[in-house]
Amino acid sequence: MSPDERAAIAKEVNVLALNIAKSDIVGQTLAQRAARIDIKKKKVELELCKELCRQTELQLELRREKVVEGKAKGEAEAEQHRREVEKLKILRDTVIANAQAQHSQIGGYYQPPYFPQPQPQFLYGSMPPPQAPAMPTASLLAQPLPPL
């Protein structure tokens, strides 16, 4: 081989080596870019997860506040109901005591008033309430009895 051929081959080998090195560098930069993009993607996903966690915590806190508020409201209503019942009991006892005092002045004894129970309401198509047997009228009582 002549020195010119050797130089041409060496030059060609150098060009090929440079192209390989260049493609390795390009491949590395592409891999680095992909890694950077992946890192940015992971950071965005992390921020999204943090935001979702924060929103979930806020919703949980809101629900806890609603539970506490509902419990306090229920306790307040129960206390108000208890007070109203106590007032009604005192009023009942006062009325009974007044009635007993009036009867003791007259000389009789007190009998609490009778409060009839409400009759159940029957719907259309259901059985009517039971009826008491009819009382005999004066005309029936005036008729003579049949012979035995």
Mean pLDDT confidence for 126-148: 64
Q: What is the DSSP letter of 111?
A: -
The number of distinct structural domains making up the chain is 1
Mean pLDDT confidence for 77-96: 93
In a domain? residue 130: no
Residue-level pLDDT at 42: 93
Average of per-residue pLDDT values in the chain: 80
CA distance 79 to 71: 12
In a domain? residue 128: no
Residue type, 138: A
Residue type, 122: F
Q: What is the DSSP letter of 126?
A: S
In a domain? residue 145: no
Question: What percent of the chain has pLDDT above 70?
Answer: 71
Read off φ and ψ for residue 116, nearest 5 degrees. Answer: -65, 145
In a domain? residue 87: yes
Determine the structural domain holding residue 53 and report its residue range: 3-110
3-state helix, strand, coil in the chain (%, to 5): 75, 0, 25
Q: How confident is the model at residue 67 (pLDDT cuts 50, 70, 90)?
A: very high
Residue-level pLDDT at 103: 65
Reading the block at residue 140, the tokens are: 């029936």
pTM of the model: 0.41
In a domain? residue 141: no
